[in-house]
Amino acid sequence: MEVGLCVCVALCLFTVANSITDPSDFKILNDFREGLENPELLKWPGNGDEDPCGPPSWPHVICSGDKVSQIQVQSLGLIGPLPQNFNQLSKLSNLGLQRNKFNGSLPTFSGLSELEFAYLDYNEFDSIPSDFFDELSSIRVLALDYNPFNASTGWSLPDGLAKSVQLTNLSLLVLGSH
């Protein structure tokens, strides 16, 4: 009986030690995957047993401790919207979504205070929320090129951009239809 109890405790500790991704971040990654038309291109395990932060970590996901710090899925041909809870990845610092077919409205990035690099160019995002830039205090590079933002009504820079004091590179080539 004591041996069985020790084995059970050891297995529980092993499971806890290998399940390091913050549950909120794990949910957001799953929401991201489930919203895609072609999630198989991510090559993420589909059974829900593997942990995104590892070991081993999921392809295209980089973590710092138990939090997702980078998502790098550029040029994979992914199609679909981003989940509306994307701004809850509180430690996200680098986001590479360029050259896919992400579509729909960009979710707000308000609250992503550690985000430094966001490459959203060459996609099919059609609108950007007015609070998108709120609390983006660390953003240094933001590429929004070649997205059909508000193609029929136009788009202007929101006031929140003025608070992004670290921003050194804002790329807005060919916004609208392309």
Determine the Cα–Cα distance for residues 59 and 54; give it in Å rounded to an integer.
Answer: 10
Residue 10 lies in a domain: no
32, 74, 150, 156 from 71: Cα distances, Å: 11, 9, 26, 27
Residue 1 domain flag: no
Measured CA to CA, the distance from residue 169 to residue 79 in angstroms comes to 26
Number of domains composing the chain: 1
Please state, in angstroms and rounded to a whole number, the distance separating the CA atoms of residues 58 and 114.
Answer: 21
Query: Is 110 inside a domain boundary?
Result: yes
Query: Per-residue pLDDT tens for 113-122?
Result: 999 999 999 9
Structural domain includes residue 9? no
Return the beta strands (E) in the chain as ranges.
Answer: 61-64, 67-72, 79-80, 94-96, 101-105, 117-119, 124-127, 141-143, 169-171
- Measuring CA to CA, which residue among 134, 137, 106 is closest to residue 120? 106
* Cα separation, 88 vs 145, whole angstroms: 24
Q: Is 146 helix (H, G, I), strand (E, B) or coil?
A: coil
CATH of the domain at 154: 3.80.10.10
Which two three-digit tokens encode residue 81?
Answer: 């919207």
Quick: pLDDT tens for 19-78: 599 999 999 999 999 999 999 999 998 766 689 999 888 999 999 999 999 999 999 999
pTM for the full model? 0.85
Q: What is the pLDDT of residues 96-133, one digit of tens each?
A: 999 999 999 999 999 999 999 999 999 999 988 889 98
Query: 3-class DSSP state for residue 132?
Result: coil
Q: Tell me, what's the pLDDT at 149? A: 86
Cα–Cα distance between 171 and 168 in angstroms, integer?
Answer: 10
124 in a domain, yes or no? Answer: yes
pLDDT of residue 40: 96
Domain carrying residue 100: 21-171
C-beta separation of 93 from 68 below 8 A = no
Tell me if 176 is assigned to some domain.
no
pLDDT at 14 over 70: no
Q: Is the distance from CB of 29 to CB of 92 less than 8 angstroms?
A: no
Q: Are 3 and 11 in contact (CB under 8 A)?
A: no
